[in-house]
Amino acid sequence: MKSLEDLKKLRDQSLKNMQMRHQVGGTRIQVGMGTCGIAAGARPVLNKFVEEIKEHELKNIVITQVGCMGECAFEPIVEIVDYDGTSSIYCKVTERMVNEIVEEHLVNHKRLDRYLLSSVKR
Q: Which segments in the chain show pLDDT lower than 50?
A: 21-24
**Segment 69-80, tens digit of pLDDT:** 888 899 999 999
The answer to whether the beta carbons of residues 79 and 51 sit under 8 Å apart is: no
Q: What class is the 28-121 domain?
A: alpha beta
Dihedral angle computed from the Cα positions of residues 15, 66, 89 and 108, in that order, rounded to the nearest 10 degrees: -10
**Segment 24-47, tens digit of pLDDT:** 458 999 999 999 999 999 999 999
